[in-house]
Chains A and B, each alone.
Chain A
Amino acid sequence: MKIQKEHINKIKDYLWEIPTSFRPQYMNVPARILASETLLDEIMEDRSLAQLVNVASLPGIQGASMVMPDVHEGYGFPIGGVAATSYPKGAISPGGIGYDINCGVRLLLSSLNRETVQESLGVLSRELYNHIPSGMGKGGSILLSSRKMHEVLRNGAEWAVSQGYAKAEDLRFIESNGKLEMADPRLVSERAKQRGKDQLGTIGSGNHFVEVDYIDEIYNTNIATAYGLECGQVVLLIHTGSRGLGHQVATDHIKIIMGAMEKYGINVPDRELACVPFDSEEGQNYFRAMCAAANFAWCNRELISWEARTAWAKVFGSEVDDLHLMYDVAHNIAKLEEHSVEGKSSLMIVHRKGATRAFGPGFPELPEKYLKAGQPVIIPGSMGTCSYVLAGTARSMEITFGSCCHGAGRRLSRTAAKKQVNAPVLKEELRSRGIYVEAGSFKGIAEEAPVAYKDINEVVETVHASGIATKVAKLKPMVVVKG
């Protein structure tokens, strides 16, 4: 049965629900959508909501299966979703994290302003493109031995600091300090390690990028000050994940988990929802391998920061001690977190697939200077539009398991985007608006054209108005480097 508007109840402004009575035979909890009515209508155009209803069937799922306003159809789980399951017997599902484990974003702050860098943008874009390996199937300059790979998988961003690629102060400004302690490199296959051995410091393809932006608008001065953001300031945004290593970890473990489901009497409506109890041998093996892949991703973003800092110093001089890390957040990950459902607090396995953690003020993991402001939430927009910095709130803990959106959200297929967009013309148009684009191919530019995405302003207004995050600053691009 196709989901129609009449199947969806409005709970309150920006919050909609498909009750369990829609599919009582397998929905364990309701399915909830955080969206404005305009975005809800857009969301209903693809199969996101059918996938959300399927997620509600996961064993041990708590509260509701949820999607954020940037949701779009995925494979199994929708992209832009959150599913929390009970600890320790509830389901762990690799599909609820995705193949690109710990895909995420980080924002680095410079001491320069928009006017100062204007004349250097052409040179800067080329230097960034030359220093940061991007593009399909290309490796980077760092080749990890088996011992070093083990260290990276065990220690994450700490490894980059130990090797002199990063400053120790970076670690305080990364979600989980850039290292998940439960990582076990022995559970990552040799093939995954082989795929990752030359991929540290590489962006990859698809929607991954490095951008130089300026802060166009500040919405909340107090929080912006705490985060170190000023109007006109030049910043650098990095979006990528665990590359082939993470993709292989997911591929390896989904197969194992699919084969184990029968043993645990689990049936799911889509094979990509394959799951096992978290405390089962297969569940623990996947979770510990996922933690290792997440560590690889944090180290990757740290290495890309090193490459960007090197390019930056070449253009603006090495005496400029610049590009301090503001924050780094994952948006494809599973974490063990304490949450409350119907007034009862307990430990849960929170799957975020295309959703960002958005914890409010007072969260102990936050660096001291962000404690009052709440956790920074970085929302990258589509190429050539704008991105946002938001702050997590206590409200997100009440309705979205401490989660927020992760981007604009695709609305057009890659094929449709390529049909509609003339990439050389788009590149010229962006250039005329002062945006330098360095990309491996015109095809990549067409696929990631702004028309392929939802309106990020509408997405961000929705999360702000719903109270799950507070708008802090709007970023506008000056340089885009992509694969």
Chain B
Amino acid sequence: MSIEYLPHTADIRMRLEASSLPELFQEGLLGMSGILKEKFCEREKELSLQIPINISATDPGCLMVDFLSEVLSVSYTEKAIFCRMELTALSETNISAKIYGAPYSELDEEIKAVTYHEAEVKKNTSDLWESLILFDI
């Protein structure tokens, strides 16, 4: 399991690696929360907010973008950061889950959007699931 933030001229590129697809999506959630507020999910033990999410997309890359995009929108409307999820169903084109989060008072970084630019979810040569996501900052 790894979350890595890679340099980009104006924005933030995130690289995820996990041993399974469910872990990869959980990492995506954590990785995005780390941009919104560093170490928020390490500090916040009381995840009082629960929101159901159900997303369908044409391929796994789009599914990851649409999932994170949905979580981001909910974060802004609920003024909360989401750290954990319970999966109900996950395929390469659909995700149903309940996400758990806690309110924030201020963010470190405002993410404008999760972009589709070169977004992908694939198995790499080490037989791990990998994803690359670019956030517009």
Task: Name A's B-contacting residues (CB within 8 A).
Answer: 46, 72-76, 79, 98-100, 135-138, 191, 194-195, 204-206, 244, 247-248, 250-251, 254-255, 258-259, 270-272, 274, 410-416, 440-441, 443, 483
Contact = CB atoms under 8 A, between A and B. Distances in A.
B134 A137 contact: no
Contacts of A272: 115-117
Interface string B112-126: 111111110000000
19 contacts: A73-B8, A75-B11, A75-B118, A75-B134, A76-B116, A99-B112, A100-B112, A137-B106, A191-B73, A195-B77, A205-B107, A206-B110, A244-B76, A247-B112, A271-B62, A271-B117, A413-B8, A414-B7, A440-B106
Interface string B40-81: 000000000000000000100010001001000100110100
A205 B134 CA distance: 18
Which secondary structure dominates chain B's binding surface? mixed
B3 interface: no
B69 A137 contact: no
A191 B71 CA distance: 12
Interface in B3-25: 5, 7-12
B137 interface: yes
Given A99-B136, A247-B112, A416-B7, A138 B73 contact: no
B86 interface: no
Contacts of B134: 75
Contact of A271 (B7, B73, B105, B119): B119
Contacts of A441: 108
Nearest to A205: B110
B9 A72 contact: yes
Contacts of A72: 9-10
B108 A443 contact: yes
B116 A191 contact: no
Most buried by A among B8, B104, B119: B8
Contacts of B8: 73, 413
A75 B7 contact: no
Contacts of A271: 62, 116-117, 119
The 5 lowest CB-CB distance pairs between A and B, nearest first, are A75-B117, A136-B107, A271-B116, A413-B7, A137-B107
A347 B80 CA distance: 45
Nearest to A204: B110
B108 A191 contact: no
Nearest to A208: B110
Nearest to B72: A251
A452 to B, nearest CB: 9
Nearest to B7: A413
Contacts of B58: 259
Contacts, number: 98
Contact of B106 (A46, A136, A244, A259): A136
Given A195-B76, A411-B9, A258 B116 contact: yes
Contacts of B73: 191, 195, 248, 251
Which secondary structure dominates chain A's binding surface? mixed
A414 B112 CA distance: 15
B9 A413 contact: yes
Contacts of B137: 206, 414
Contacts of B106: 135-138, 440
B117 A76 contact: yes
Nearest to A194: B77
Nearest to A73: B9
Contact of B5 (A194, A195, A415): A415
A191 B107 contact: no
A358 to B, nearest CB: 22
Contact of B109 (A74, A138, A205): A205
Contacts of A250: 113
A255 B119 CA distance: 14
A78 to B, nearest CB: 10
Nearest to A46: B9
Contact of B66 (A99, A244, A255): A255
B32 to A, nearest CB: 14
A411 B112 CA distance: 20
Most buried by A among B66, B79, B113: B113
A99 B117 contact: no
A101 to B, nearest CB: 10
Nearest to A419: B7
B116 A136 contact: no
B9 A247 contact: no
Given A251-B113, A272-B116, A74 B10 contact: yes
Nearest to A441: B108
A324 to B, nearest CB: 31
Given A195-B76, A206-B137, A99 B113 contact: yes
Contacts of A440: 106
